[in-house]
């Protein structure tokens, strides 16, 4: 049973917004595109993994996607997928990487062999080991009870080849297609319930409550200023910008598309790239509106949390 659905990460959403709102000839655009490619591939791998999880008996596991928690030492950790049952927990870290891969146990590195040489990456096995420890201490603190926690690195790209994998690596890494078998054997090795049904439900509620969404400072990361961001409402049909506001509609002058609420995506972009709060003046400029009263109507219609009055009012783009 899915207790936390898979959503695109803040980082991926931000890169998508950045790809729309930074000029293609800007020096950082290529970097944004690369990062967007990496994030998109990761997300694709996670979604591929989700398909295999549908083979699990529905009542056995609570499934959490993208859970991000803070351990008792104030360090955040995010698990691609966490499966929680009465008897154990299982962390799945998906890796969507193609090519010849080798896990180097001595140096804790993942090496990807490419024609030009090789590329070293952080080792997902050590990452899973860290997350297991962090989750264990989290459970101790918040649940007062700890279940055995195992972890698996799941290779989700069909074009991944594993080289020189030792038996100990093969226990910690699996190909996506083998995941149901691997889970079956983990399950058979940990049959004894530690939690009651009620305790598991309570723990699931607690996990969701304590989920701490990620933050990403786009402007700081790419050293951009607000004036380098493309403003205006983007046409949902042809991506032309800006659309113009006419009789309570957004009109695209390029393709003629008409939209009632194309401003919502524009303000989402603003929240991801520029900041989570916006004044009437900022919204008017960003949406290319001609009057403060129209801007007020639009912001008001979105039922946003706000603070302050008149010109000092600030809306929160949660
Ligand atoms: Zn258009």
Range 26-30 contact pairs with CB under 8 angstroms and sequence separation of 24 or more: 26/228, 28/222, 28/223, 28/224
User: For all residues of the chain together, what is the average pLDDT?
Assistant: 93
Fill in the DSSP letter of residue 288.
Answer: T
Q: Ligand 1 centre from 256 Cα, in Å?
A: 6
Evaluate if residue 23 carries a pLDDT over 90: yes
Count Cβ atoms below 10 Å from residue 205 Cβ, excluding itself: 11
Q: For residues 243 and 167, what is the distance between their CA atoms, to the nearest angstrom?
A: 59
Report the separation in Å between the CA atom of 99 and the middle of ligand 1, taken as the mean of its atom positions: 40
Beta bridge partners of 6: none
d(CA 255, CA 247): 18
pLDDT tens column, 153-174: 999 998 899 998 899 999 999 9
pLDDT tens digit string along 45-83?
Answer: 899 899 888 888 777 899 999 999 999 999 999 999 999
Question: How many A from CA of 249 to the centre of ligand 1?
Answer: 13
The pLDDT value given to residue 318: 83
What the chain holds in terms of domains, given with CATH numbers, is 2-209 (no CATH), 231-316 (1.10.10)
Instruction: Measure 238 CA to ligand 1 centroid, in angstroms.
Output: 4
* pLDDT > 90? residue 257: yes
- Which residues are 79's β-sheet partners? 67
Q: How far is CA 58 from CA 149, 278, 303, in A?
A: 20, 43, 37
- How far apart are the CA of 251 and the centre of ligand 1, in A? 8
Mean pLDDT, range 224-252, rounded to an integer:
95
Residues 6+ apart with CB under 8 A from 187: 60, 85, 88
Residue 182 has pLDDT above 80, yes or no: yes
Please give the distance, rounded to the nearest whole angstrom, from the Cα atom of residue 277 to the centre of ligand 1: 28
User: From CA 230, how far away is CA 206, in angstroms rounded?
Assistant: 40
- Ligand 1 centre to CA of 239 (Å) is 6
241 CA distance to ligand 1 middle (Å): 8
Distance 159 CA to ligand 1 centre (A): 38
CA of 265 to the centre of ligand 1 (A): 14
Cα 76 to ligand 1 centre (Å): 41
CB of 125 closer than 8 Å to CB of 173: yes
Q: Check if the beta carbon of residue 153 is closer than 8 Å to that of residue 101.
A: no
- Cα of 237 vs centre of ligand 1, distance in Å, is 5
Taking the centre of ligand 1 as the mean of its atom positions, its distance from the CA of residue 13, in whole angstroms, is: 22
Residue-wise pLDDT for 129-157, tens only, equals 999 999 999 999 999 999 999 999 999 99
């Amino acid at each position: 049973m899915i207790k936390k659905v898979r959503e695109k990460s803040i980082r991926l959403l931000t890169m998508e917004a950045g790809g729309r709102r930074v000029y293609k000839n800007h020096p950082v655009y290529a970097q944004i595109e690369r990062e967007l490619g990496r994030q998109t591939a990761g997300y694709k791998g996670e979604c591929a993994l989700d398909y295999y999880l549908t083979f699990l008996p529905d009542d056995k596991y609570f499934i959490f996607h993208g859970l991000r928690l803070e351990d008792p030492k104030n360090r955040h950790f995010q698990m691609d997928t966490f499966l929680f049952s009465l008897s154990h927990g299982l962390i799945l870290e998906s890796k969507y990487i193609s090519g010849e891969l080798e896990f180097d146990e001595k140096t804790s590195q993942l090496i990807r062999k490419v024609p030009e040489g090789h590329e070293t990456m952080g080792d997902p096995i050590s990452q899973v080991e860290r997350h297991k420890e962090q989750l264990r201490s989290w459970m101790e603190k918040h649940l007062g009870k700890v279940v055995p926690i195992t972890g698996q690195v799941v290779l989700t790209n069909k074009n991944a080849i594993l080289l020189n994998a030792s038996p100990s690596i093969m226990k910690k890494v699996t190909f996506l297609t083998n995941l149901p078998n691997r889970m079956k054997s983990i399950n058979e090795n940990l049959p004894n319930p530690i939690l009651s049904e009620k305790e598991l439900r309570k723990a699931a509620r607690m996990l969701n409550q304590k989920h701490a969404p990620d933050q990403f400072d786009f402007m700081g990361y790419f050293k951009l200023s607000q004036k380098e961001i493309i403003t205006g409402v983007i046409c949902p049909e042809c991506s032309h910008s800006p659309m113009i506001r006419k009789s309570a509609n957004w009109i695209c002058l390029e393709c003629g598309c008409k939209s009632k609420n194309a401003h919502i995506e524009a303000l989402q972009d603003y929240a991801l790239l520029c900041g989570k709060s916006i004044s009437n003046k900022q919204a008017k400029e960003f949406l290319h509106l001609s009057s403060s009263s129209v801007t007020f109507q639009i912001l008001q219609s979105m039922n946003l949390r706000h603070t302050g009055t008149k010109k000092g009012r600030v809306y929160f783009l949660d």
